[in-house]
Structure 1
Amino acid sequence: MRFRSVLAWTTVAAAALAAAPTAPAAASSAASSTASSAVSSNCPRLSGHWYGDNRAHLQQVIDERGSCGGHGGSRPVAAFDWDNTVTKNDVTDATISWALRHDKILRPASWQDTSKWLTDAADTALTAACGTDVPVGAPLPTATNTRCTDEIFEIREDGTTMSGAAAFAGDWNHRRTVPQYAWVPQLFAGHTVAELTSYTKKAREEALAAPVGSTRTLGTHTVPGYVRYYDQQRDLIRTLQRAGFDVYIVSAGSEPVTEVWSRGVGIDAAHTIAIRSVLDRHGRITTWNQGCGDVPVSQGEAIPYIDGKRCWINQEIYGVEGAAAWQKQDRRHRTAIAGGDADTDVTFVGDATGAHLVLNRNKSEVMCRAYDDADGRWVINPMFIEPLPRKTDPYPCSTTAYNEPDGGKGPVRRADGSVVPDQQDTVH
């Protein structure tokens, strides 16, 4: 487990990560054979139902870049987001849900200790809802105290209190972090990694056993009750590995949580990158996170989020240090295939040199890039389970789809500075 003691701020050497994009639905065998006509029939082949010719497109990249391509040298890399890319539904939320229903959140001395951006309004709401009767460091009775559960989950989900007040305020780079994501591992401060891993295993067992489409009541919130691995993504990852790719997961979730789930598709802890908590001298999770590039250990300034995912890939897989880790690298130091589902994935998915796989969840910035398809390598697939219907309004690519570092919205621009026109949703 790659966590650091507060007494030792040295950089953690993590293994590389890369995500493999998914292939298209129902690609015809003719298309597949055409894409790999020069490749041995013994080379690893994708299977399963994909949209359009996506499977053939991905297969072609696998054949060209993998062991059957005969290029030798360093192993090609594929990198994937986790939540709603490899699985249907969010595994971090599944763990939070289980923890809240089993009294596993420990009372902090002050709620504002949990995040540098937590507002006075959020601190007041959490204190009022969760109370002060429980000793500091003891479990809060969230299984029965629905007010406390509601406040915690509302802040995690929407960044607001139950009364609608902003839960986070201040300055942060909105392309490097989002406080409510960083807050998740901070909520588990005081626990050991082994304890959080144990909770995640129990939440995983519960979520995989629940019927597809089921929901669960959490306080007054209705949340998804199930999680499923996508069969197509599991097959894609295994095919990539057989073809000689190094496959990594890069997630904006808590790393111990993601590691439990990534093992289910054959990816070990060394190939799993997510938010990395700093541990105290007793091996317990703190509210501090490891940094990336030229951003040191902090309370969440540089998590794997939008441009942060590029930084973590560059640093942990390709060994790029300092401020350069935030920059797009040359082709030799970029993934061959990358896959995601949301704006948080747009930068690292766009950096891939062979295929940019996107599962359509109607997220504006990433879908603008995907539909614009500037390099002809974007692969769009509907979600494999309960896909969303067609988005009726065009994506506002020319005006407000881009997430600015200061939190504003702007137009999505190509590498040459030209503005991407608004795009219709056609793959759903």
Structure 2
Amino acid sequence: MTARPRRLLALGLAGAAALAALTATAPATAATPATAPARANCPQLSKKLPWYGDNRAKLQKMIDERGTCSGSHPSPDHHPGRMRSAQPLSMGPRPVAAFDWDNTVVKNDITDATLAWMLRHDKVLRPKSWRDTSPWLTAAADRALTRACGTGPAGRPLPTSGRAACADEIMEIRGEGKTMSGAAAFAGTWNHRRTVPQYAWVPQLFAGLKPAALTRYAKQARAENLAAPIGAQQTVGTHKMAGYIRYYPQQKDLIRTLKAAGFDVYIVSASSETLAEAWSGGVGLDAAHTLGIRSRLQHGRFTTRLAGCGDVKDGPGEAIPYIDGKRCFINQEIYGIKGAEAWRKQDPAHRIALGGGDATTDVTFVGDATGAHLAINRNKDELMCRGYDDADGRWVVNPMFIDPLPRKSGAYPCATKGYTNTDGSLGPVRRPDGTVVADQRDRIHG
């Protein structure tokens, strides 16, 4: 939800931080005689669930080395931000794992699913002015939405179930950033590694709703999409789209194993935080471990103002959990790092052990992980460039677990336009030392 305290990872004890840094930077192959015998009894990933190649073994190795079986791990009930006075100085905070949600933990997209359900049931409220929903919304988009959706009292439900043109304009702007006529729906200046207006726009469409109502809609959409058969489609307006969602069994098992091994596991999503919370319980995670786009409240109802991060204040969505924004929210919400420093890559003691994602929006935080970088292959350039380059030997690339994509034709353009610059232009993907990543062929696919 929008107004709850977060547990912050306070590393106030120098000895604990030093030990954590030492553990985080140890080679992936390290195993001491003292810890090796205990590993047979460590929490284990299920051998009944298929992973590509030796990916299960790679992840299990990381879990063994960073979790309770490492020999230098706090007790399972020792949580980040709860540095108890009775805790031995030799014990550091619990290791952290963080996952994107859509197409990483589940197949398909919960924002699309919930918005589709709401449009089919007239649950989106009419704004006073479409231009009020986003400062980047163009005059062309304003005209298209007004023409398609008509006019009427603000705060009343839009007639999207019976007015296909209205539903179409909203879905096209959400999905493509364009109107149905092809005009740009957003324009202006923003940091393209911190936000994308069409992602921020969906939570802004929820303005006027109470959190409990949006949670109820999300849960109804969840039930509908889980009940639909794999491969089902639905029609919203004239848009045909996926009509089902599934939790990936492998990811549920991975999260279960990580928690059993003493990891603190978080979701960090570019979906509305309220929507993500309606789903994350399905993998055993609570609201305190679910990060997303957080809408600010006024008089108990959502507004178009979104929570900022670091030195970016609350506002129209200039900083959301998107590319570098995911790093910022992890640093701020999990590790308690404030201000501009939250945007910077931290020392190993203040970084996640495992990061998992499927797209460019995840590449920064997944790359920050010190133990393993899990990349679900959806043919997204920067993520796959880094995954296949495997600069630190810790990348774990896996096809989608349901309906994986075939091999991408041609190479990923890593050396020329695989990286999104802050102004939206494309350039070469570079390693931390500045060298350019060569173009990569798609090697791990369905």
Other-structure match for 1:45: 44
| Residue 119, structure 1, aligned to residue 138, structure 2 | yes
CA displacement 1:137-163 (0-9 Å, x = unmatched)? 100110010000000000000000000
Match of 2:213 in 1: 195
TM norm structure 1:
0.92
In the alignment, the residues of structure 2 paired with residue 120 and residue 67 of structure 1 have an alpha-carbon distance, to the nearest angstrom, of 56
Match of 1:292 in 2: 309
Of the structure 1 ranges 381-390 and 41-50, higher mean CA displacement relative to structure 2 is found in: 41-50
Q: CA deviation at 1:37?
A: 5.1
User: Partners of 1:38 and 1:421 in 2: how far apart?
Assistant: 41
In structure 2, the partner of 1:388 is: 405
**Contact 2:293/2:321, CA 8 A, preserved across alignment:** yes
- Once the two structures are TM-superposed, the CA of residue 16 in structure 1 deviates from its matched residue by 6.2
**Residue aligning to 1:419:** 436
Instruction: Measure the CA separation in 1 of the matches of 2:7 and 2:221.
Output: 26
Q: Secondary structure at the match of 1:288?
A: strand
- Alignment partner for residue 276 of structure 1, among 294, 301, 304? 294
Please, which of 188, 200, 224 is the counterpart of residue 206 of structure 1?
224
- Secondary structure of the structure 2 residue equivalent to 1:398: helix
- Please name the residue that 1:243 is paired with: 261
Is 1:317–2:318 an aligned residue pair? no
Q: Which amino acid aligns with 2:292?
A: A
Of residues 122, 127, 134 in structure 2, which corresponds to 1:108?
127
Distance 2:158 2:392 in 1: 51
Q: Does the 8 Å contact 1:16/1:313 carry over to 2?
A: no
**1-structure distance, mates of 2:38, 2:254:** 18
Distance change >3 Å, CA 151–CA 103, structure 1 → 2: same
Selected match of 2:6 from 8, 14, 17: 14
| Correspondences of 1:1-400 after superposition (within 5 Å) | 1-3=1-3, 13-15=5-7, 38-47=37-46, 48-72=49-73, 73-132=92-151, 134-280=152-298, 282-400=299-417
Alpha-carbon distance in 2 for matches of 1:16, 1:175: 25
CA contact (8 A) 1:16 1:271 kept: no
Aligned residue for 2:414, secondary structure, equals coil
Is this contact kept in 2: 1:2–1:14, CA < 8 A? no
* Structure 1 stretch displaced more, 85-94 or 40-49: 40-49
Distance 1:349 1:295 in 2: 22
For 1:37 and 1:308, how far apart are their aligned partners in 2?
Answer: 38
* Equivalent-residue separation in structure 1 for 2:150 and 2:38 (angstroms): 65
Gap runs ≥5 in structure 2:
10-34, 74-91
* d(CA) in 2 for partners of 1:371, 1:193: 41
Q: CA-atom RMSD, angstroms?
A: 1.1
In structure 2, the partner of 1:30 is none
| Structure 2 CA distance for aligned equivalents of residues 373 and 337 of structure 1 | 15
Given that 2:193 and 2:422 are in contact with CA atoms closer than 8 Å, whether structure 1 keeps it comes out as yes
User: Aligned partners of 1:77 and 1:304: how far apart in 2?
Assistant: 17
Q: Name the aligned partner's letter for residue 6 of structure 2.
A: A
Partner AA of 1:162 in structure 2: M
Cα pair 1:100 1:143 within 8 Å, conserved? yes
SS state of the match for residue 207, structure 2? Answer: coil
How far apart are the structure 1 equivalents of 2:97 and 2:338? 20
Structure 1 unaligned segments of length 5 or more: list them.
4-11, 18-35
**Paired letter, 1:416:** D
Contact 1:16 1:270 in 2 (8 A): no
Q: Quote the Cα distance in structure 1 between the aligned partners of 2:37 and 2:239.
A: 54
* Aligned partners of 2:186 and 2:197 also within 8 Å: yes
Do the aligned partners of 1:360 and 1:380 also contact (CA within 8 Å) in 2?
yes
Shift of 1:43: 1.1
Instruction: Supply the distance in 2 between the matched residues of 1:302 and 1:119 (Cα, whole angstroms).
Output: 20
Give per-residue Cα distances to partners, 1:197-250, cap 9 Å, x unaligned. 000000000000000011111111110000000000000000000000000000
- One-letter amino acid matched to 1:76: P
1:13/1:316 contact within 8 Å kept: no
Q: Distance in 2 between matches of 1:220 and 1:92?
A: 18
Counterpart-to-counterpart distance in 2, 1:77 and 1:13: 18
CA contact (8 A) 2:327 2:343 kept: yes
Quote how far apart the aligned CAs of 1:15 are: 3.6
Rounded to whole Å, the distance in 1 between the matches of 2:343 and 2:147 is: 41
Q: Report the more deviating stretch, 68-77 or 302-311.
A: 68-77
Letter in 2 for 1:14: R
Q: TM-score, normalised by structure 2?
A: 0.88
Cα deviation code 1:275-317 (max 9, x no counterpart): 000000x210000001100000111000000000000000011
- Which has the bigger relative contact order, CA under 8 A and spacing at least 6? 1
The superposition leaves residues 116-140 of structure 1 with CA deviations (integer Å, 9 ceiling, x where unpaired) of 10000000000000001x3211001
Calculate percent identity across the aligned residue pairs.
69
Moved more, 114-123 or 63-72: 63-72
Maintained 8 Å contact 2:421/2:427 = yes
* CA–CA separation in structure 1 for the residues paired with 2:293 and 2:307: 8
SS of match in other structure, 1:157: helix
Asked if the contact 1:193–1:285 (Cα under 8 Å) also holds between the matched residues in 2, the reply is: yes
User: SS at the partner of 1:144?
Assistant: coil
Partner Cα distance (2:441, 2:169) in 1? 37
